[in-house]
Structures are given as C-alpha cells and as structure tokens.
Amino acid sequence: MTQIALSAVLHSATSLMRSGRWADAADLLEAVTPADPAEQLAVTALRAEVAVDQDFAQAQDTAGPALERFEKALTDSPDETLRWDLAMLTLRKTYGSALANLREAEEDGVVDRDASKRLAAEAAALSATAPDDSRAGHAAFYGGVIADNLLIEPGEAFRLYTTAFELGERSGDKLLISLALRHLGDHAHTAGDLKLARAHWERSTELRQQIGHLLGSLAQQALLAVLTKDEGNPAGAATLATEINRWSKQVNLPWITTQTAALLA
C-alpha cells in the first residue's frame, strides 16, 4: 500500500475545500488510513470543517454526523486546541443555519434574539480563550457577523471586524484578513464611501485568489459588480455578474447565483 505523509493529504484536502470541491476533499479524507490516533483526530477534524464549509456555501444541513465524529475522536484522543476548533466549527454551523433561516423567521415574526445573543457570547468567549491570534481573529469575525446580521448592531460589528483585521495582519492569516476587509468594505459602502469600499473589496478579492478560495473570490467579485453599478457603470457590472453567475451555477453556490441574477435582471 502506498504511504503518503499526512501533512500532504491535509494540505490537498484543504485546497480542494477552498476550490469548492467539497466532495473530492471528503473522498480524499475518507480514503486515508491514519497511522495512529493523533492522525485519525487530524483527519476527522478536517472532515468536519469540510462538511461545515460546504453546508454554508450550498445552503444545506449535512454536517451533523461529521461534527459528532470529531467530538467522539476528541473523547478518545483529547487535544485542547482541537477542542477549541470543534467549538468554533459548531458556532460556524449554528450561525450558518440561523442566517439561512433568518428571512423566514422575520416573515413569521419569531426571530429569537436571545439565541443570537447567546451565540454572540459564545463567539466572544472563543475569541478570549483562543490558543493563537489567528483563531482569536476568526472568532472575533464571527462575533461581527452575528452582531451585523442577527442582532443588527452595526457599531459592535464594525468594532469586531476591526479586531479581526488587526489579528489577521498580526498572524499573517490571509483568509481572516480577507473576511474582515469584505465586511469593513460593506460598512464603507453603506456609508456611501465607494472609494474605500473598492479598496477594501479589491484587496479582499486578491487575498482570496492568492489562497485559491473560489467561493470567497466569487462572493467578492459579486460585491465588486454591485459597486461597479453604483459607480455608474451598469454595463460593466452586468458583464462581471454574467461570468460570476456562470461560475456559481457550475459549483452550486445558490446565494451567489441569486445575487448576480438580480444584477442581470
């Protein structure tokens, strides 16, 4: 049987996940035969991340079993850093589900603000207990989107995005920097500062392209299409939106497909 260093497998699976090839990433990880419990735990952790990432991207709900496997693996092989990672993945999954259900909840008049406050408190606790700056920054970022999208507290969201950006710069985490800039750019756009919004969004797009993050790159380009229209160039916006729409359909990214279709209407 061919043996491959686990680090190469994990790197490859992460690259597949970021390129929107979640099924391929999952298949690769399922095909691995770990040499010891520590390797098994690492594989199980990444498998859970792939599942959570795919659920958010494709507006589905399939990550439960992978998260349960991760939790069981931690019982068998305790690791405090990976225990933190499981809590963070669980928060990401909970936030994604809440965001997906938000419109229906608003229409029914049953938005659970207390649940959103608890989720915000969990994000704050994760940021405070994170084992490194990168992880603390990702938790701060999720605190920001919870404040922005679930609690409608833009001032708190802006503060947390700024914290996430600073921690991203300090740790050299390109994904974290790009996430923070995406949302800081959104605040600039809402405030009418189109020049600052473009600066943030272009840098965010470039960072996502550097790490091969397809969903992130398309999401950013969709925002740049919106901005191009706002700058008085609807034809340029439509041209960009057409290509983004085609890409998003190929990899089944429904919310980007919907967003760009609106620009083409």
Cα→Cα distances 147→174, 213, 222, 242, Å: 23, 25, 23, 32
pLDDT (average), residues 28-51: 95
Tell whether 217 is covered by a domain: no
pLDDT of residue 149: 95
Instruction: Decide if 84 is inside a domain.
Output: yes
Give me 225's structure tokens. Answer: 């299409």
pLDDT value for 145: 98
Count of domains for the chain? 1
Residue 234 maps to a domain: no
pLDDT of 29 reads 97
Mean per-residue pLDDT, 134-158: 97
Q: Is residue 15 part of a domain?
A: yes
Mean pLDDT on 89-112: 81
Q: Is residue 41 part of a domain?
A: yes
**Sign of the dihedral defined by the CA atoms of residues 226, 185, 211, 62, in that order:** negative
Query: Average per-residue pLDDT in the chain?
Result: 94
142 belongs to a structural domain: no
Mean pLDDT, residues 136-155? 97
Q: Looking at the domain assignment, is residue 248 inside a domain?
A: no
Task: Check whether 159 has a pLDDT greater than 70.
Answer: yes
Domain that holds residue 80: 1-111
Percent of the chain residues topping a pLDDT of 70: 96
Whether 167 is in a domain gets the answer: no
CA distance linking residue 211 with residue 19, whole number of Å: 9
Q: Which tokens go with 162?
A: 């700024």
Place of tokens 């620009």: 263
Average of pLDDT values for 65-81?
96
C-alpha span between 93 and 74 (Å, rounded): 18
Q: Are 140 and 127 in contact (CB under 8 A)?
A: yes
Residue-level pLDDT at 95? 97
CA-CA-CA-CA torsion sign (218, 219, 223, 225): positive
Identify the band that residue 103 occupies on the pLDDT scale cut at 50, 70 and 90.
low
Q: What is the pLDDT of residues 206-250, one digit of tens each?
A: 999 999 999 999 999 999 999 999 999 999 999 999 999 999 999
